């Protein structure tokens, strides 16, 4: 793992802000994507006892942001990337267990990136899928 990827992994392991509140854990990082997980608690539920849609949107934004950051660092473009669009489809409801998260690059360019984020339940079923467009910016 390169210095940039080690730095990215160290940052996300010490998550503060929304990632820390959510409990999103990043397991692997590479220039081609990340994997991670979220253990569902009642704090992630909407009033009817299932995971709130905003939880999936926030997971997708975080996963895509980390993926995009790793890529701009590894390629030498530098800077970071910020989300400019997040489109999330909710495919199946869950109320407990672990959500597995993985990212796949759809497009990566000098100015923008597009990432697909798949979220799966304990049985490997796709429960939500997002496409997050990122803007590469200088820090």
Planar angle of CA 119, 39, 87, nearest 5 degrees: 30
Catalytic residue among 3, 61, 74, 138: 61
Buried b (16+ CB within 10 A) or exposed e, 108-126: beeeebbbbbbbbbeeeee
Query: Catalytic annotation on 138?
Result: no
- Residue pair 95/122 in contact (Cβ under 8 Å)? The answer is no
Residue 44 · residue 21 · CB < 8 Å: no
Active-site positions? 61
């Amino acid at each position: 793992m390169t210095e940039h990827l080690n730095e990215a992994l160290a940052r996300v392991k010490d998550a503060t802000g929304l990632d820390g509140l959510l409990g999103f854990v990043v397991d692997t990082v590479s220039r081609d994507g990340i994997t991670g997980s979220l253990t569902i608690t009642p704090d992630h539920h909407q009033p009817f006892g299932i995971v709130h849609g905003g939880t999936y949107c926030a997971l997708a934004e975080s996963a895509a942001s980390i993926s995009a950051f790793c890529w701009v660092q590894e390629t030498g473009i530098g800077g970071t990337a910020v989300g400019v669009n997040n489109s999330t489809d909710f495919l199946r409801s869950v109320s407990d267990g672990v959500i597995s998260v993985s990212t796949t690059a759809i497009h990566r360019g000098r100015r923008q990136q597009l990432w697909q984020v798949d979220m799966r339940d304990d049985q490997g079923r796709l429960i939500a899928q997002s496409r997050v467009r990122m803007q590469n910016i200088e820090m």
